Amino acid sequence: MKKLVFIFPGQASQYVGMGRDLYDHSPAARAVMDHTASMEGLNGIPDLCFSGPEELLTSTDNVQPAITTISLMALEAIKEALGNKVELIKPVACAGHSLGEYAAHYAAGNLSLKQTLELVTWRGRWMNEASQQPHPEGAMVAVMGLSLEQTLSVVDQVGADRLAVANLNSPGQIILSGERAAVEAAIPIAGKLGAKRTVILKVSGAWHSPLMKPAQARMAELLAGVIAPDRVSFNPAIPVIANATAETVKSVAELCETLTRQITSPVKWEACVQALVHLASEVNPETAGALEGLCFVEIGPGKVLKGLLRNIDRNLEVMNVEDMAGVKALLEALSP
Alpha carbons 308 and 270: distance in angstroms, whole number: 8
**Residue 30 sits in the same domain as residue 74:** yes
Domain final residue pick, 183, 204, 225: 204
Alpha carbons 179 and 140: distance in angstroms, whole number: 8
**Residue 45 sits in the same domain as residue 92:** yes
**Residue 113 sits in the same domain as residue 148:** no
Determine the average pLDDT of the residues in 125-133. Answer: 91
What is the model's pLDDT at position 286? 53
Domain that holds residue 276: 3-131+212-334
Mean pLDDT of the chain: 92
What is the model's pLDDT at position 284? 60
Domain final residue pick, 180, 204, 228: 204
Which residue of the set 13, 26, 71, 98 is catalytic? 98
**Residue 218 sits in the same domain as residue 320:** yes
Residue 257, classed as helix, strand or coil, is: helix
**Residue 47 sits in the same domain as residue 196:** no
- CATH of residue 25's domain is 3.40.366.10
**Residue 199 sits in the same domain as residue 305:** no
Residue 287 has pLDDT above 70, yes or no: no
Which residue of the set 131, 208, 209, 265 is catalytic? 208
Q: Annotated catalytic, 98?
A: yes
pLDDT bucket at 288, cuts 50 / 70 / 90: very low
The percent of residues above 90 in pLDDT, for the chain, comes to 82
Domain final residue pick, 204, 225, 260: 204
Residue 9, classed as helix, strand or coil, is: coil
- CATH of residue 158's domain is 3.30.70.250
What's the Cα-to-Cα distance from 227 to each of 39, 115, 148, 260, rounded to whole Å?
18, 8, 34, 12
SS (H, E, C) 210-256: HHHHHHHHHHHHHHHHHCCHHHCCCCCCCCEECCCCCCECCCHHHHH
Asked whether the beta carbons of 119 and 102 are under 8 A apart, the reply is yes
**Residue 46 sits in the same domain as residue 190:** no
Q: Annotated catalytic, 208?
A: yes
Residue 285 has pLDDT above 70, yes or no: no
pLDDT in tens, 36-82: 999 999 999 999 999 999 999 999 999 999 999 999 999 999 999 99
**Residue 123 sits in the same domain as residue 245:** yes
**Residue 239 sits in the same domain as residue 102:** yes
pLDDT in tens, 209-261: 999 999 999 999 998 887 665 566 788 899 999 999 999 999 988 999 999 99
Give how many domains the chain has, as a whole number.
2
**Residue 189 sits in the same domain as residue 221:** no
pLDDT in tens, 319-333: 999 999 999 999 999
Asked whether the beta carbons of 181 and 136 are under 8 A apart, the reply is yes
What is the model's pLDDT at position 136? 79
**Residue 43 sits in the same domain as residue 178:** no
**Residue 257 sits in the same domain as residue 168:** no
